[in-house]
Structure 1
Amino acid sequence: MPQLTRREKEVLELVANGLSTQKIADQLHISFNPVESHRENLLTKFGAHNGAELIKMAAERGMV
């Protein structure tokens, strides 16, 4: 199971809830680019190719 930072866990949960990158940034009170970085890190850590695959893999591991 991938080791995630606190912020990556927050972003993962919001991605799983269907929020766009901009809405995640707004909700977390951070800019767009860090959210994109967190999303890219999540894709890499899970070995996913896109957001849908990321959510599926996280759900299979009970992380969302």
Structure 2
Amino acid sequence: RREKEILQLVTEGLTSSQIAEKLFISPHTVETHRKNLMEKFDVNNMTAIIKYATEFKLL
């Protein structure tokens, strides 16, 4: 659930710090979720995840 929220906020252009502030979690936690997303999608950057999520209508 949190990872999907973070993915949505990343697509809106928010930074990790902004996401952390909005969700009341630490920036380190946001980075951990981003890292987990990249591992799950087997990609090296968030741009690739956003492209994949958009193509497969995951957002």
- TM-score of the pair, normalised by structure 2: 0.94
- Which residue of structure 2 lines up, in the alignment, with residue 44 of structure 1? 39
Unpaired segments ≥5 residues, structure 1: 1-5
Residue of structure 2 aligned with 1:53, choices 48, 51, 58: 48
**Is 1:7 equivalent to 2:23 in the alignment?**
no
SS in 1 for 2:22: helix
- How many percent of aligned residue pairs carry the same amino acid? 47
Cα RMSD (Å) of the superposition?
0.7
Aligned residues: 59
Residue of structure 1 aligned with 2:12, choices 11, 14, 17: 17
- TM-score of the pair, normalised by structure 1: 0.87
Point out which structure has higher relative CO (alpha carbons under 8 A, 6+ apart): 1
